[in-house]
Structure 1
Amino acid sequence: MSDSITLQNISNTIESILCRLDIDAENEFTDKTALQLLEAAFDTLHFKNSEMSFTDPATKILFEKMSQIMEQDLPDTPEEQLIKVMAAVYRSIQRRTNGGREYLTFAQQYVGPRVGPGARVLQY
């Protein structure tokens, strides 16, 4: 990924989306939640599982928000690139977490939600 500005931009967008969902959830979001959302995205995009079942209704709502934002922010991104980058983010979260918010704290510090001119404000 380090050789591709395109993949880096996709990664920044995905991490920004996770950061925004975290902020919207008033930091009740955990690394585990981020992993669950990415797993659901893999199920939908890669494994073509259209019948998603969530044990937690709040996670389902977050997934729907994440999917909507990804469609709007990454509309022309080839699916294989999106899956590749999400897998890299997923592995990063797994490596950095101790079961709390370690990865999200890191991401908020260095990526954070998109803010400033041209940034889209999330509306649900």
Structure 2
Amino acid sequence: MSDPRAVEPSRPDDEAAWQDLVRRFHESGPASHESGPAPGPRDHVVDEPDEDFEPPEPAPLSSAEPALALAWTGVVVSLGLLLVVTVFLRPAPSVFAWALAGLFVISAGYLAYRLPRERHDDDDGARV
């Protein structure tokens, strides 16, 4: 029984075929070898920007509707405080916990009320 890891000695016709393959490779050579490397992504030339272009004015940071910002703040703060109270202040006053829960329900209710009510059949929901 022969060892499957043993390498068979090469036959003369295999050696001749290999030498022929190597000779043809060196004779033809890759086309890009003589003319330099192929162009890549770093060879891209960027056009010069227009000198008279002025970007539009950005929207002010305080352009959010105050009631909407207050509702989001109520949701985030009430959940955060409820988490902190539950983890660190175990014997917290129940009035405080109920007040935070009420703040969350009112804020989340307002945000749900502000959701769009109509749906367009040809609208996939994506906005740019």
With the shorter chain as reference, the TM-score category is under 0.3
Structure (1 or 2) with the larger CA radius of gyration: 2
Greater per-residue helix proportion: 1
Higher relative contact order, structure no. (Cα contacts within 8 Å, ≥ 6 residues apart): 1
TM-score (norm 2): 0.23
